[in-house]
């Protein structure tokens, strides 16, 4: 039977053991071979650089002197990690039917007026969502696929009745400082923008901006997409997060990019995903299982293995549709 070409309501469940509070990743090994795969799909064709307009994806290459080692991201593009786990350790159990991306940014006086803008294409998958977590992995915000407003001229393929293979499928999310006036938020929402507020400075040292995508269309014979539903015949890239300044007097988002988003990242630099090389793709494959002593302080073990913090909070799975379960 051929898969349907238009979205219809479907049962959405989650594996019982999945810890969904943050991206669950382990650090690269010394040679890095087990953590990334240069042939792994999902890379964008353009190198990274700062962008000067909120909602636009970086496209211009950076120049460097011969012999310089470029960081994975520069300017106002924020570091992120890409997780396609092929191994897990209890209680760290990412779903092997899903892919995860995450950025971890500090919340302090230097970032008090920073806003984060997510640019992405809806993946070719059966379910996706974006989340905010505090540094302890406590969920703060969630927006599911069908609730995301597509960019003008694009289609949200997760909305019932919409074509699931719609070629124009971009969206933009705006995460603004907690101090943003409600009038600014309501005006942006009235203009059809997806807006949410970051945690307040002082409530948590940082914020995790996490995406999850489940059950790629590759499982339905609709193309060689990766486990996220990216790459494939449409060459769909992973989402990009950039940082812009807000106006200190009005709280409105400006077009002024921050100078160096990476300087306020909570992620180990060796894990920063590079869109040019499509590396590293984190897999957990070479991470040593935690010892009994490690289990007593698992967040410390995660950081020592190069892992992203926030894996110990309570679960925050998709909300089931009661009449469809």
Higher pLDDT, 237 or 27: 237
pLDDT (average), residues 172-201 = 97
The DSSP bridge pattern shows strands 170-176 and 194-197 to be: parallel
pLDDT of residue 37: 37
* Best mean pLDDT range from 85-89, 147-151, 212-216: 147-151
Average pLDDT over residues 274-288: 82
Predicted pLDDT of residue 288 = 66
CA 313/CA 72 separation, integer angstroms: 29
* Portion of the chain with pLDDT greater than 70, in percent: 64
Task: Specify the pLDDT at position 295.
Answer: 56
| C-alpha–C-alpha distance, residues 73 and 261, integer Å | 9
Per-residue confidence (pLDDT) for residue 220, from 0 to 100: 86
pLDDT value for 155: 98
Report, as an integer, the average pLDDT of 318-325.
42
Which of 131-145, 156-170, 215-229, 283-297: highest mean pLDDT?
A: 156-170
Q: In this model, does residue 259 exceed pLDDT 90?
A: yes
Of the listed ranges 5-14, 89-98, 155-164, 292-301, the one predicted with least confidence: 5-14
**Mean pLDDT of all residues belonging to the chain:** 76
What mean pLDDT is predicted for residues 55-68?
45
Arithmetic mean of pLDDT, 225-234: 94
pTM here? 0.75
pLDDT at residue 12 above 60? no
**289 — pLDDT class (breaks 50, 70, 90):** low
- 225: pLDDT strictly greater than 60: yes
- Give the range among 6-10, 173-177, 212-216 with minimum mean pLDDT: 6-10
């Amino acid at each position: 039977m051929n898969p349907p070409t238009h979205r219809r309501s479907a049962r959405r469940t989650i594996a019982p053991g999945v810890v969904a509070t943050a991206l669950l990743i382990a650090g690269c090994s010394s040679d890095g071979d087990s953590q990334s795969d240069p042939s792994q799909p999902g890379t964008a064709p353009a190198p990274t650089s700062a962008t000067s307009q909120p909602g636009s994806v970086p496209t211009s290459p950076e120049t460097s002197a011969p012999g310089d080692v470029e960081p994975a991201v520069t300017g106002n593009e924020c570091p992120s990690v890409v997780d396609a786990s092929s191994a897990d350790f209890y209680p760290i159990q990412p779903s092997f039917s899903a892919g995860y991306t995450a950025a971890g940014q500090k919340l302090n006086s230097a970032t008090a007026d920073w806003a984060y803008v997510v640019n992405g294409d809806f993946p070719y998958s059966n379910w996706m969502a974006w989340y905010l977590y505090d540094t302890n992995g406590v969920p703060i915000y969630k927006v599911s696929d069908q609730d995301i407003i597509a960019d003008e001229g694009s289609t949200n393929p997760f909305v019932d009745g919409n074509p699931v293979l719609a070629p124009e499928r971009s969206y933009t999310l705006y995460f603004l400082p907690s101090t943003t006036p409600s009038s600014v938020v309501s005006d942006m929402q009235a203009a059809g923008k997806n807006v949410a507020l970051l945690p307040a400075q002082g409530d948590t040292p940082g914020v995790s901006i996490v995406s999850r995508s489940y059950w790629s269309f590759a499982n339905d014979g609709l193309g060689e997409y990766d486990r996220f539903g990216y790459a494939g015949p449409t060459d769909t890239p992973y989402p990009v997060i950039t940082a812009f300044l807000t106006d200190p007097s009005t709280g409105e988002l400006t077009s002024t990019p921050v100078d160096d988003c990476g300087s306020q990242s909570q992620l180990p630099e060796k894990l920063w995903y590079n869109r040019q090389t499509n590396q590293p793709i984190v897999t957990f494959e070479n991470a040593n299982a935690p010892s009994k002593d490690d289990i007593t302080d698992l967040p410390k073990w995660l950081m020592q293995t190069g892992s992203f913090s926030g894996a110990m909070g309570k679960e925050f799975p998709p909300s089931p549709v009661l009449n469809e379960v």
